[in-house]
Amino acid sequence: MAAGPGGRRATCAVIAVLALGLAGCSGGEEGPAAEDKGKDKGKEAAAAAPGAPERAPERAPRLIGDGSTAVTGRQPNQPRTDRLASGEEPPQFVVFSWDGAGEDGNRLFSHFRELGKKYDAHMTYFLSGVYLLPESRRTEYHPPGKAPGASDIGYLRDENIAATLEQVRAAWLDGSEIGTHFNGHFCGPSGVGSWTPEDWVSEVEQAKWMVKNWRTTTGFADLEPLPFDYDKELIGGRTPCLEGQDNLLAAAAGLGFRYDSSGNGLQVWPQRREGVWDIPLQSVPVPGRSFETLSMDYNFMVNGAGEAEMRDGLLAAFDRAYDGNRAPLIIGNHFNDWNGGAYMRAIEAVIKELCPREDVQCVSFRQLVDWLDAQNPAVLERLRTLGVGERPEGGWATFLRGA
């Protein structure tokens, strides 16, 4: 089972894993937001964060609500979306995604964002809403079935909230996507797996509220707004510990979702469920082992795999798709220092190896579903007939001609 982020009060159990590294389980960098930290602290922390964000588009922004977010025009740095011609070989897509997506003392958000810019990789950052809510305002979060303010991943310090805001803003300007990892990250019997569709609606609306009102809750009046309307930007997510997907999907289309990546699946072309694209994590090889594991850093860790095994396993999964059915390769990660940072080094090596290739497109989930929606449904239906690693008999020109 894949896991999501954790925090100061989270255990390091199999089903409750943090997104900001093991430091979160032991106290580490993350802690409560002090009530006396205000807007000056936010500006100072943001200015100190590495990878200074790009300037907002020159068009004057139209502020939304309290000015936490703004309409700034079309998102920059987006790829073209073309329909396959008859008999044309599909592109090889790779999606790198990050659960939790907060900037802590390890500064991994900024590191991988800069890496993406250098190696032509757009990514999806699944932001946990509570990472923008100060602990002093925690009781304004009402998780379904829990006490107000409850969170299994804790809350960030003010300086980390400010740094996270700067990286979220910059990531969008880079061309990447801001999705959701929801809020309190509750796993297990009384967690998100027990939630109703109505509970998921409440959780998503609260996640939006935290993103759209950070200026009010933090007092960071000197930080620039996030350059997007989150009601329109938010089109998908990944549930904590990959639990509760069925009831989430029952509500997803009504929430404006176009996809969900909370499932367990194989390296085949995705299909729709409940009106949205179901794009799961995938079973991929573990070199030297007789089994496969999910395409996520946490799952390699709990199976005792190291840096080389994760790197080589993901590259083997890529080769299997590239030489076979060309199904998108879906990879999930957390900003962590597990096993001495082994999995971060592994994913960095994979990005450097794959994304610069001319025949590979490292895209966000939004960009992937834009491409899927642009295709002839008959072509996608035919692609879904191909099994894992199966190359079409007679080649692509024959297989997709006239589809």
d(CA 339, CA 181): 23
User: What pLDDT is attached to residue 58?
Assistant: 56
User: What pLDDT is attached to residue 402?
Assistant: 74
User: What pLDDT is attached to residue 59?
Assistant: 65
The dihedral sign for the CA sequence 67, 70, 72, 75: positive
User: What pLDDT is attached to residue 268?
Assistant: 98
Q: What angle do CA 168, 172, 175 make, to 5 degrees?
A: 145
Q: With CA atoms as reference, report the closest residue to 75 among 180, 208, 172, 212.
A: 172
3-state DSSP call for residue 147? coil
Q: With CA atoms as reference, report the closest residue to 211 among 198, 192, 228, 223.
A: 228
User: What pLDDT is attached to residue 42?
Assistant: 46
- Report how far apart, in Å, the C-alpha atoms of 20 and of each of 4, 155, 267 are: 10, 11, 28
Residues in Cβ contact with 384 at an 8 Å cutoff, skipping those fewer than 6 apart:
268, 269, 271
AA letter at 164: T
User: What pLDDT is attached to residue 45?
Assistant: 44
Q: Which pairing describes strands 360-363 and 92-100: parallel, antiparallel, or unpaired?
A: parallel
User: What pLDDT is attached to residue 2?
Assistant: 45
| DSSP-derived secondary structure for 9-73 | T----TT---SS-THHHHS-S--PPPTT--HHHHHHHHHHSSSPPPPPPSSPPEEETTTTEEE-S
Two tokens, residue 13: 């159990």
d(CA 107, CA 101): 11
User: What pLDDT is attached to residue 270?
Assistant: 98
Domains of the chain, with CATH numbers? 23-29+92-400 (3.20.20.370)
3-state DSSP call for residue 331? strand
Instruction: Give strand pairing partners of 180.
Output: 127, 237
Asked if residue 390 lies in contact with residue 269, where contact means CB atoms within 8 angstroms, the answer is: no
| DSSP-derived secondary structure for 80-143 | P--PPPTTPPPPEEEEEEEEE----TT-HHHHHHHHHHHTTB--EEEE-GGGGS-GGGGGG---
Digit-coded pLDDT (tens) for 6-63? 333 333 333 333 333 323 332 333 333 333 334 443 444 444 444 444 454 556 899 9
* Ranges of the chain with pLDDT below 50: 1-54, 56
